[in-house]
Structure 1
């Protein structure tokens, strides 16, 4: 039963989204009534996040959070119980997708993508200490940032809930999304392979500005920054190494995205010796690539908000391309899904037409 739980996401996602809205809505009510730890309050500049809700006052935003949570509970339950026809269906869909977009793309900042990139380093920092002035891992993932992670998770739940309700309410398969109408040409495996390759190359190009600047700083070239700023980074133990690590992580991510259109993205290659030659389950690539694609967009949006100072375009300028990277990686992930989905075990759609089978 535990193994089947993820596979049954269309059945539980709306209830999970409603439960998340209930809990976060209650937190909003708590902050409205003067409760502590309001996550969007003004804090020291070194501990601030970059959400557009920060800084704000609890008595202003708290009621909005509580009301949004209450609306989410009603919306999620109605979706889960398969209510809504005509206009009411469109309203529920609109509310579901609005929350999905707001909680994944609009409210978070670069925290999610930084967490993905830093996850290996955080394990090391937990035992060796954090480079620079930070006192520990808690100084990196503090409450203002942890709250944004919670919101992002809620956004993912609402994305699943809205997608399941959209498919179910138009009488399509909740697992694969196909219905009895003829499939569009762009969704065929052949077409998806063609435009998926373009998406992968765009994603690769979008990473280059960030990768090149961080590599240049490590080797002493102040590309996009001043000599003084580079000297400050050199004076901070581990700072250039962290920047290099992030650049390498970005480059590795762009290389791995090539697997979405390559053979080694479908069958484990020889260098993964314990699984070499075995078929790769599509979810193994789709889930991480999809999450990273979504997480990149708010990070790039944050860079657009924080226009760099004169002579320091290299600090945030390259990250503006993360929006393009996220969109392209999302398109490449969709193309991979369309190529790999095959015959649906749930509805049986996707099998070749009988006349084509005879011709073969």
Structure 2
């Protein structure tokens, strides 16, 4: 009987392990298939947004780049604009994007000529850049920084009176988030197509003659420089916001400091952002430190285990991407009537984002190891 019980227990454990492995395989299949589904996803996104553009062009409501009240506007390059002018362009670009995405996805059935390949790559990268960076404003970085507090802000009235989450994430901002999702899809689709048409592994990009700068030793060198630039770029913003919180008008007028002191929660938000920025600088150092590869002793339940690539790369890339539009907005604004401290430190977000992106790439090149799809090292 004991043998039968042990047999049943062993069978149950084997079944559980098999189910766990099957679930993990499903998750791997879903994500690891991104070179195949990303072009189709980008095409569907473009078709849907293009259809929305057609709806706005014929007079439909909800045009997201129109003139609205100041407290509901964004700093996107397309705002404010007329639907009669911009919406037809959105519809045309959406249709072109849908065709472009399908052609990228079906490339394996017929070899594209050099001219077609160059056209598709140009359109793909142009859409990726426009949607993730050019048309954005500070909304992305605000959502990333305040995501844990958005609900609290909506229902507590901090830093001012709000009437629900709609007063924080209103349609003009929601639209920018939709554009960002489209930009990510177009980035993945175009990257996969570019690699595939060069005969490279669509997952890791290897297969041809590797450039010297991609070698782990080389990436370690320029990765350290990128980390240093990223950390230094955040310091001016951190210092000014901490100074304001403690009553020093560093880079601003006394009157503007008084206005912030009279606005509940305003200086506290600035201090919180400075703390988050400083913490981000510490985490950025992990891209070149040993504890960025193996969990250190001060992380419970993880100590000694390898840090997963996605654990470090995904958040770092997200922050790098959202920093750049925010910095570009500050550069476009130009004027600083309340003092240089309001805009100049934030202009460095462009440098910060670019350096953080480079540091993340170096981290990936050092740690990527053998590709699980092409087995190249």
Q: Same fold (TM over 0.5)?
A: yes
**SS of alignment partner, residue 17 of structure 1:** helix
**SS of alignment partner, residue 217 of structure 1:** helix
The answer to whether the 8 Å contact 1:308/1:315 transfers is no
- Aligned residue for 2:298? 271
- Aligned residue for 2:180? 152
Deviations 1:245-269 (A, max 9, x none): 1111111111111111111111112
Correspondence 1:118 to 2:146: yes
- Aligned residue for 2:31? 6
Give the one of 196, 199, 203 matched to 1:168: 196
Deviations 1:124-161 (A, max 9, x none): 32443332244343222111111001101100110000
1:91-240 counterparts in 2 under 5 A? 91-181=119-209, 183-240=210-267
- Aligned residue for 2:334? 307
Matches of 1:72 and 1:231 in 2, distance apart? Answer: 50
Matches of 2:153 and 2:176 in 1, distance apart? Answer: 21
Matches of 1:285 and 1:166 in 2, distance apart? Answer: 25
What is the Cα-based RMSD across aligned positions, in Å? 1.2
Matches of 1:236 and 1:267 in 2, distance apart? Answer: 44
Matches of 1:308 and 1:268 in 2, distance apart? Answer: 45
Q: Structure 1: give runs of 5+ residues left out of the alignment.
A: 351-360
Runs of 4+ in 1 over 4 A off after TM superposition: none
The answer to whether the 8 Å contact 2:50/2:90 transfers is yes
The answer to whether the 8 Å contact 2:241/2:271 transfers is yes
Larger Rg over CA atoms? 2
**SS of alignment partner, residue 260 of structure 1:** coil
TM-score (norm 2): 0.90
Moved more, 5-14 or 117-126: 117-126
Matches of 2:57 and 2:338 in 1, distance apart? Answer: 43
How many angstroms does 1:96 deviate by?
Answer: 0.5
Give the one of 248, 272, 277 matched to 2:275: 248
**SS of alignment partner, residue 4 of structure 1:** helix
1:36-115 counterparts in 2 under 5 A? 36-82=61-107, 84-115=112-143
Correspondence 1:258 to 2:285: yes
The answer to whether the 8 Å contact 2:296/2:304 transfers is yes
The answer to whether the 8 Å contact 1:307/1:317 transfers is no
Deviations 1:139-196 (A, max 9, x none): 2211111100110110011000000000000000011101132x22211111101110
What is the number of equivalent residue pairs in this alignment? Answer: 349
Q: Structure 2: give runs of 5+ residues left out of the alignment.
A: 1-25
Matches of 2:351 and 2:144 in 1, distance apart? Answer: 18
